[in-house]
Structure 1
């Protein structure tokens, strides 16, 4: 009789073709910045544990320990103690491959204070993905937070030689191009499992669902992401379809299988129960997505894990139905989507899931659970809320990241140090530094509707209407004796110009023009000139009895002005009187003419005029002659 190990044989048989040459190693860049002889850009493979800094960089000094160089035991030194060489720059530990699990090496380095682990390959070969062990050594898995990468044997040997010579070896780990970021929306997939009794990996993925649910729903509801859940299934080789093992692990006559949760085909839940619940979760997403609410999948998976756990014997169709109804989803549509698990035919939903497992382009086959795929590139690292959010945020086109990507958990804060090297106006607290997920951008801002223009690094100037309200449009302004004068004008959209009475560039300075010295004003006979800030004052020799006329640059007597003024007023008065009398006369004449014409017309109707009477008599004589 075949034992529990038979399940693994079935899985291997089913996946042999897919595993051959389709596993793609996710890589990022490692740049050696010192010593001079090693400067350059190299490739490294991202470990499948820890927290890679997707979208960011990490710069540190390389330390090669004198003992325990494979990192299989706890280090008796603190790598933090060596940071005095570089101020706040952390240390990366260089560790040789072999003798123990990768996760053990990373854990020992982390507890000793290392900021990252560089594992040197033991032979010349294409880089592989450092994975976490399936059965042993997993006690460190959930606690590893530092990133780990595998570097080539050649690069590792060169770094070790330089470190042993006492040279300062500096390395920059760069994850900014690890994930594609083509547009303003991120597509990501989460390959998971409804099984909650598969050990640390199941615990990790359920903890992730619980912690990331709210963030995922916000991203989805606002249209920033397009999320799709997936479930891995295997098929049973045709020769074993009728076996007890295949029947307990598969549905639809061996077409869709999952491992038995307890690896025991005689008790508890079987693999076919897992496949059936996986199918339920896919259909929940499909129906929710068809109704425009794909984010309800997160609520269903979260609630199902709490209300229907295997250990309480509630991992059933009935319990799943209660969860579906509580979320207001159409259970009839979901049941129709699930179909008949006993039918000897393909299930279109699970067939599509198996097709989606096959890698294409730069993405390899999905062979392990859980797996996250962001913009068609597999995510490597711990399923941690902050780490996954960083990976998703790095999938947005530069400067288009949503606000959630600039939360305290993921933002780089490069603008907080020396303003990121960008332009800054301290007086008005206006800066060109804008913090994005990938780092700062020096871009002239828009403040209170006013756009600043410039290179963003050395200068930014307010432009357009309203620019004078902010930093005075970058123009000169000064106040003296309670009077403020500015070279910025709201009438001009750009530029600075010293106002009348001043000269200069209008930006840094405007100097008062001394009109008196320049003899451009107050040149009349007997006039005296006194320069003022931005203008001048001219006084006449006659004192208070004289009045200076600025436009004519002349002095006249105030008495003459007074007499001239009264004469002018009398002229206006009599002119108005004559105009009124004339208008009245015209009015009376026209009224009388109109009345005369009306009276004559009325009289003509009742008292014929002489001319009319003579004409009538002549007409009468003419008619008599005819008779």
Structure 2
């Protein structure tokens, strides 16, 4: 990591800062990672290829997108340390021409000054060529940011390129070649799935000048989008705070006692860089710790987004300059948000204890880079999907970076708005398959561009390559554009070739079922009305048969019969049916009468048998007992 120059400071302050930085840097085995994007030269042939460049930590990198332009190298003011107006030079692109990427030399002034002068000259991006052979570094804002009131107004992206590549670009431009370049940030951030995980490394200090002001303004402006994304599960947000520790040899010094808590374990620089007035560094550490605990308690209550409310309200209600940077003011904000301040106090612990604070110890461990992320050494810093964001803290710029972290087609609607990206499906359907009749397209707009993917419409899935062909499949396919099959209506009758299994011409038609189905002439092909007397008339999709000479056509027998014979046969059959029904009725009535009579006879006999013997009834033996006297 390259340290920048700083304004003059009291020797004792420099000593303390050096000690704190020494304690952090020497005892943590980490590394600073330079975040990069791709630069592709498409012309001339001698320079064609892809090159790495380092993203500057100012301006607005176009995360998830690309920019195409032509490289220009000034004949004067080649380090861009002066305004190009002084040289009567303008790089504003004319209508219909490609934007200008200005190549400038490193040295003599801050990177941000070069970018500001280039932006005012009308360029779309600035390429800074290193002046020595070394690995790429991160171009950062100057430490004396209070003197540079233009920093927050830089909007063009910047990139540092190596000395050798810069030399080749200069030679090509000076030789009269048109150098076409594509700056590509699409893979600068990982985008593995449908949720973006991001961290915000920040500070509760509000007396560090323009950087602190910018950070507070960002939190206020980004609070709304951040809370919406978090509530709907699109993101997982975690705030973090950087602290240093005081080496053991200095823990009893006045400086470390005023800047650190827990006996020198967790420290922060003095807010005003003056030990004799205002708040101390230890006040900042305690407030940082409180903000971490607010997040933890809110998260335990399944409302982690309340952190944004607390930080915003605290900055407004409890500023240092009004002497309200206190626990009492913080508790008032906590109470207004309905959080348990006792749980937060328990999380904070005892700042005077000679022991580790588990929360701040975890924060220090998190500062060390793991995997591709690298150490967090710049404040403020966003880490998105384990990669550090580079560029200014601007609501639109950060939202673009978050959107670049979603897997294609999983982005929330806010990422597809006109303010964030361009919908490539609006022009020629993005080159994807499109059914004009049903107004169905395979083009899906994503933050990075578009994908051609056969759609699902009303529960019906289309299958195909998405570029030249998509076809509805499965049940219900005929409800969507008739399944892409042939369909025609004539004289109020409609025939369709769509079936659940595909496109097949219906009975009475022949063809491929997709583009065309032709009527089959059953009369001509003699597949109907084959009897000698039959007369056939072809219709659309069917046929009609008739008979001449007063004959009647019987379809089930495919034959013609006389109408009179048909009538006689019909009447004979009708009389036969009537006589048959009458006979069945008479027989049924006779059976009914017989059964009724038999039943009555048996009932009468049973009654009479109780009073006298009947002819068919024998003597009834006397079973009475005789009593002898």
Same fold (TM over 0.5): yes
Pick one of 189, 198, 210 that aligns with 1:188: 198
Pick one of 251, 256, 260 that aligns with 2:270: 260
- Quote the residue 1:232 is aligned against: 242
Displacement after TM superposition at 1:82 (Å): 5.5
- Quote the residue 2:4 is aligned against: none
Pick one of 570, 573, 582 that aligns with 2:578: 573
What number of residue pairs does the alignment pair up? 614
Pick one of 486, 493, 510 that aligns with 1:476: 486
Following the alignment from structure 1 to structure 2, what is the Cα–Cα distance between the partners of residues 439 and 582? Answer: 90
Pick one of 172, 175, 193 that aligns with 1:165: 175
Matches for 1:377-456 after TM superposition, within 5 Å: 377-456=387-466
In structure 2, the CA distance between the partners of 1:511 and 1:203, relative to structure 1 (3 Å rule), is: same
Greater share of residues in helix: 1
For the 8 Å contact 1:55–1:176, the answer to whether it is kept is yes
Displacement after TM superposition at 1:602 (Å): 5.3
Structure 1 unmatched runs, 5+: none
In structure 2, the CA distance between the partners of 1:19 and 1:343, relative to structure 1 (3 Å rule), is: closer
Displacement after TM superposition at 1:308 (Å): 1.1
Map Cα deviations across residues 498-553 of structure 1 (whole Å, 9 max, x no partner): 122221111111112223332333444354443332233344323xx444344444
Following the alignment from structure 1 to structure 2, what is the Cα–Cα distance between the partners of residues 7 and 602? Answer: 133
Following the alignment from structure 2 to structure 1, what is the Cα–Cα distance between the partners of residues 362 and 442? Answer: 49
TM-score normalised by L of structure 1: 0.91
Deviates more, 1:522-531 or 1:297-306: 522-531
For the 8 Å contact 1:92–1:117, the answer to whether it is kept is yes
In structure 2, the CA distance between the partners of 1:552 and 1:427, relative to structure 1 (3 Å rule), is: same
Following the alignment from structure 1 to structure 2, what is the Cα–Cα distance between the partners of residues 577 and 43? Answer: 106
Following the alignment from structure 2 to structure 1, what is the Cα–Cα distance between the partners of residues 283 and 434? Answer: 62
Pick one of 566, 569, 572 that aligns with 1:564: 569
For the 8 Å contact 2:30–2:375, the answer to whether it is kept is no
Displacement after TM superposition at 1:609 (Å): 6.5
Deviates more, 1:140-149 or 1:462-471: 462-471
Give the aligned CA root-mean-square deviation in angstroms.
2.7
- Quote the residue 1:536 is aligned against: 543
Displacement after TM superposition at 1:319 (Å): 0.9
Pick one of 41, 49, 52 that aligns with 2:50: 41
Displacement after TM superposition at 1:20 (Å): 7.3
Map Cα deviations across residues 306-332 of structure 1 (whole Å, 9 max, x no partner): 111122222111111111000000111
Map Cα deviations across residues 467-522 of structure 1 (whole Å, 9 max, x no partner): 2232221111223344333222xxx3231111222211111111122233323334
For the 8 Å contact 1:308–1:320, the answer to whether it is kept is yes
- Quote the residue 2:117 is aligned against: 108
Following the alignment from structure 1 to structure 2, what is the Cα–Cα distance between the partners of residues 20 and 146? Answer: 35
- Quote the residue 2:89 is aligned against: 77
Pick one of 377, 384, 403 that aligns with 1:374: 384
For the 8 Å contact 2:229–2:235, the answer to whether it is kept is yes
In structure 2, the CA distance between the partners of 1:159 and 1:20, relative to structure 1 (3 Å rule), is: farther
Displacement after TM superposition at 1:265 (Å): 1.2
Deviates more, 1:70-79 or 1:260-269: 70-79
Displacement after TM superposition at 1:293 (Å): 0.8
Does 2:362 match 1:361?
Answer: no
Pick one of 54, 57, 70 that aligns with 2:66: 57
Does 2:598 match 1:588?
Answer: no
Pick one of 120, 139, 143 that aligns with 1:134: 143
Following the alignment from structure 1 to structure 2, what is the Cα–Cα distance between the partners of residues 40 and 239? Answer: 54
What SS does the corresponding residue of 1:555 show, helix, strand or coil?
strand
What SS does the corresponding residue of 2:503 show, helix, strand or coil?
coil
Following the alignment from structure 1 to structure 2, what is the Cα–Cα distance between the partners of residues 121 and 511? Answer: 73
- Quote the residue 1:351 is aligned against: 361
In structure 2, the CA distance between the partners of 1:184 and 1:517, relative to structure 1 (3 Å rule), is: same
Following the alignment from structure 2 to structure 1, what is the Cα–Cα distance between the partners of residues 301 and 509? Answer: 69
Displacement after TM superposition at 1:607 (Å): 4.6
Following the alignment from structure 1 to structure 2, what is the Cα–Cα distance between the partners of residues 203 and 266? Answer: 23
